[in-house]
Amino acid sequence: MQHAPNNPPPVTPLPPPAPGKNPVIVPAYNESASVAHVVNDLHKHLPRADVLIVDDGSTDGTHQAVPDHTPVLRLPFNLGIGAAMQAGYRYASIHNYDFALQVDGDGQHPADQAHKLISALVETHADLVIGSRFLPDNTGDTNNTHDPNYKPPATRAAGIGVIRAFVRLLTGLRITDCTSGFRACNRGVIQAFARWYPEDYPEPQVIPLLHRAGFTIHETPVTMRPRTTGQTSIPFLKGVFYILKVGFALLLDLSRSPWPKKKANQP
């Protein structure tokens, strides 16, 4: 059930953040096989980050697989990616973080690529930076140990292409990877997401919503690994139905204004 804008999902007591750190929000649903690697990878490459696992009602012991000293926010039952991410952003808002990273719990997002998102957020002054699998990397990064030619399955690629067209039609923005969950955002977006966050298809939905509210969106090239464990939260065997549902959700969002317009001096 979608939470009302002024009633975000409750956050259980967690250790307060250390000064100077920023969070990496990791939504996880039945990711016991990969979550430990994800956490260790993040601690290795982002030693000053606060990693927060949001366990979205997993039934496979995901929370027990999380390494010690890593906070886990356990939702009482499976609420979906939207509620899981809103809970994480609510935590980030409560503790006044300056920016937050979003990383999937299935191991597709290598932690050594996260610096690209953070750098782009600072250099472009964007409010939201999306890590794109489809943009060419012209940075000359020689520390890339992952497959630069990673391609999703044909059905998934087709779905991404259709959703990309929907988003461009609604916003005029050329977002190449609107379903990517590898993202970084600033405090203004954190506060917006803590107040309200789409339930079913948040990755593409927030793009036109943020655009209409005056927030700026930027993409930066990253590489990703194919999923090796767990199951995707998107039923691509029913790809056509999924695309129709996403398209309808994007059109429905035209009637929504969940966040106030960004102010000129808002960070």
Q: Is residue 169 part of a domain?
A: no
Least confident of 11-15, 140-144, 195-199, 224-228: 140-144
Report which secondary-structure segment, H or E, holds 91.
helix 81-94
Q: Is residue 105 part of a domain?
A: yes
Give the total number of structural domains in the chain: 1
Q: What is the domain range of residue 183?
A: 22-151+175-230
The per-residue pLDDT for 238 is 66
Which pLDDT band holds residue 151 (cuts at 50, 70, 90)? low
Q: What is the mean pLDDT of residues 52-58?
A: 97
What pTM did the predictor assign?
0.85
Q: Is residue 258 part of a domain?
A: no
The per-residue pLDDT for 15 is 58
Rounded CA separation 115/175 (Å):
20
Structure tokens at 248: 């309808």
Which pLDDT band holds residue 240 (cuts at 50, 70, 90)? confident
Q: Is residue 242 part of a domain?
A: no
CATH number reported for the structural domain that contains residue 209 in this entry: 3.90.550.10
Name every residue whose Cβ is closer than 8 Å to that of residue 72 and which is 6 or more positions away in sequence: 52, 53, 54, 55, 63, 66
Instruction: Confirm if 52 and 14 have CB atoms less than 8 A apart.
Output: yes
Q: Is residue 82 part of a domain?
A: yes
Name every residue whose Cβ is closer than 8 Å to that of residue 229 and which is 6 or more positions away in sequence: 31, 33, 34, 106, 107
What is the chain's alpha carbon radius of gyration, rounded to the nearest angstrom?
A: 17
Instruction: Confirm if 87 and 177 have CB atoms less than 8 A apart.
Output: no
Please give the single-letter amino acid code of residue 100: A
Q: Is the pLDDT of residue 106 over 50?
A: yes
The per-residue pLDDT for 157 is 77
The pLDDT tens digits of the residues spanning 125-148 come to 999 999 999 998 765 554 444 455
Q: Is residue 41 part of a domain?
A: yes
Q: How many CB atoms lie within 10 A of CB 145?
A: 8
Distance of CA 24 to the CA centre of its chain: 10
The per-residue pLDDT for 138 is 63
The per-residue pLDDT for 142 is 45
Q: Is residue 239 part of a domain?
A: no
Q: Is residue 187 part of a domain?
A: yes
Name every residue whose Cβ is closer than 8 Å to that of residue 153 and which is 6 or more positions away in sequence: 236
Q: Is the pLDDT of residue 6 over 60?
A: no
